[in-house]
Structures are given as structure tokens and as C-alpha cells.
Amino acid sequence: MLKGVSAVTPGYSGGSTGSPQVAPTYEQVSGGDTGYAEVIEITYDPAVTSYRELLDVFFASHDATQMNRQGNDVGTQYRSAIFYGDEGEKAEAEKYIGELKAHGVQAVTSVESLTHFYPAEDYHKDYFANNRSAPYCQIIIEPKVEKIKTKFADKIK
């Protein structure tokens, strides 16, 4: 929904199934034993939306102060993490987290090298749009979406 963002792909990163050629399944990741985190891959045009703006939205859309959890979802697979693709992204993410901490936010977000990204199963794609009536979507996701729409109204398509 952000200007300049052309794709958001749900998936998994940061863990191991024993072989980089073997993609993890949701069941494996949600079990918490693989080290993978549930993540999204964002494809965007940096001439329209900057990496810094993506970080603004990322930190506004979840609680970066919870270690290995997001709300009722608990485990390393729910950790607050940024997987960077190059040293510039790493430096910008670390700078952002440093600024949060300087303002008293006890962010526990890890900054990890992106070694592999595995797209999630198809039923995860457009989950909110396809499941708006589900209680999880109404109680957890919708308030976050509305917060982003309000806080970043000038950046919404």
C-alpha cells in the first residue's frame, strides 16, 4: 500500500533446515526449532520510497521491544529482525535502532545478514486481504493497517 513498493512477499529467513536447497515449511518454522523467522521481502523503487521510510513503517507496525515475540505469538520465529542485503542497509538499520535507543526505546531488533529468503506457502500471500473476517485479522492486523494508513497517509498509494 506504500507508494514505490511494487511487491511484498511473505516468507522465511535466518535459520536452517540442514540444507540451503531445502525450503522450510510453515509447520517447521512455527515449531520454533529451525531458527527461521517469519519475514517479508519488499521490492521497491528507492527513487520513490527510501530505505529509511521503509524502516519508519517497519518500526511503526510492530513492537520492537518484545524479545522473541509479537503479542501472543512467542518464539524466535517471531523475533523483531531486519535482514539486510548489503552493508548500506545494515548501517542504516543499525543507525535507526541507535536513534530509537537514544530516545529511550528499548528496541531488541536484530540486524542479520540475508543469506537465504524462502517464499512462504501460497496461502500466506495477501493473507489480510483474503481473510478480513478472520478474528486474527480483525483484532491484530486491521488496527496495525489503520495505524499505518493514518501515520503515513502521504505515503499511501
pLDDT tens for each residue of the chain, 157 residues long? 999 999 999 999 999 877 777 899 999 999 998 999 999 999 999 999 999 999 999 999 999 999 999 888 899 999 999 999 999 999 999 999 999 999 999 999 999 999 999 999 999 999 999 999 999 999 999 999 999 999 999 999 9
Grid coordinates representing 58 are: 517497519
Torsions phi, psi of 96, nearest 5? -60, -45
Which residue ranges make up each domain of the chain? 5-155
Grid coordinates representing 93 are: 538499520
Tell me the pTM: 0.91
Superfamily in which the 5-155 domain is placed by CATH: Peptide methionine sulphoxide reductase MsrA (3.30.1060.10)
**Cβ(10)–Cβ(127) under 8 Å?**
yes
